[in-house]
Amino acid sequence: MEPHALAVVVTPAREMHLADLVRLNAEVQALHAQAHPAIFIARTDPAAVREFFQGLLDSERDVLRVAMTGNETVGYCWARRVERAVSVFK
């Protein structure tokens, strides 16, 4: 019997995802702090993290997506649009 694979759907994050973003970020933050304790703190203030993500939702230069399996938020991705000077890559 094959394992049942759930489809992952990536969609723009919304206010209703804020609690999940805070939860998922706590996991990521802990992993980063374990790997690089001189750079990352192990625990963050959930209210401050929620405010941070709310700011990303309100930003025109930030892109925040969530990965969903059914009704469960299983991941997120954050990118920031940056204006760069002309270079060999642009």
Segment 25-78, tens digit of pLDDT: 999 999 999 999 999 998 899 999 999 999 999 999 999 999 999 999 999 999
Confidence of residue 4 (pLDDT cuts 50, 70, 90): low
Residue indicated by tokens 């759907």: 9
Question: What is the pTM (predicted TM-score) of this model?
Answer: 0.83
18, two tokens: 């804020």
Alpha-carbon Rg for the chain in angstroms: 16
pLDDT at 89: 81
Angle in degrees, 0-180, between the axes of helices 18-35 and 46-58, rounded to the nearest 10 = 110
The model's pLDDT over 78-89, given as tens digits with 9 standing for 90+, comes to: 999 988 889 898
Higher pLDDT, 83 or 2: 83
